[in-house]
Amino acid sequence: MKLSPLMHALAVACHLALISGLLIFCSGRLALLFGFLLFLPLPGLLRGKERTHAWTSMLISFYCAALASNAYSSSHGRALWFVLASLAALEFAATVLYVRFRAREKIAAA
């Protein structure tokens, strides 16, 4: 059973949900910049490129830390920030696992 298509679908779904969550619920220029910055890896993620998944995991780790710190520091909308931080953490795990499973499948096919 190949797990890389499942991880790819999960990573793309979390990425799209994170983009929409940031653009809908966050206000301010910095939040819009963070939302639009996530559009950069989107073409490579949709195509399933492993290199894009690899560097996106590094990008998402910063988002996860920033969203979690914002959740702890804000008094209003705390649950929303935790949901967005959880989405970022889930996307991080899915992108890393996609690269790992894809590499194992390539080795097994060879």
Counting the structural domains of the chain, the total is 1
CA-CA-CA-CA torsion sign (66, 69, 73, 78): positive
**How many residues are there in the chain?**
110
pLDDT, tens digit only, all 110 positions of the chain:
688 899 999 999 999 999 999 888 877 787 778 888 899 999 999 999 999 999 999 999 999 999 999 889 988 888 899 999 999 999 999 999 999 999 999 999 88
CA-CA-CA-CA torsion sign (76, 80, 83, 84): negative
Q: Give the span between the Cα atoms of 45 and 12, in whole angstroms.
A: 6
Q: Which distant-in-sequence residues (6+ apart) come within 8 Å of 31 by Cβ?
A: 22
Instruction: Give the global pTM.
Output: 0.90
Range of the domain at 15: 4-109
Q: What is the largest CA-CA distance in the chain?
A: 54
Q: What is the pLDDT of residue 3?
A: 87
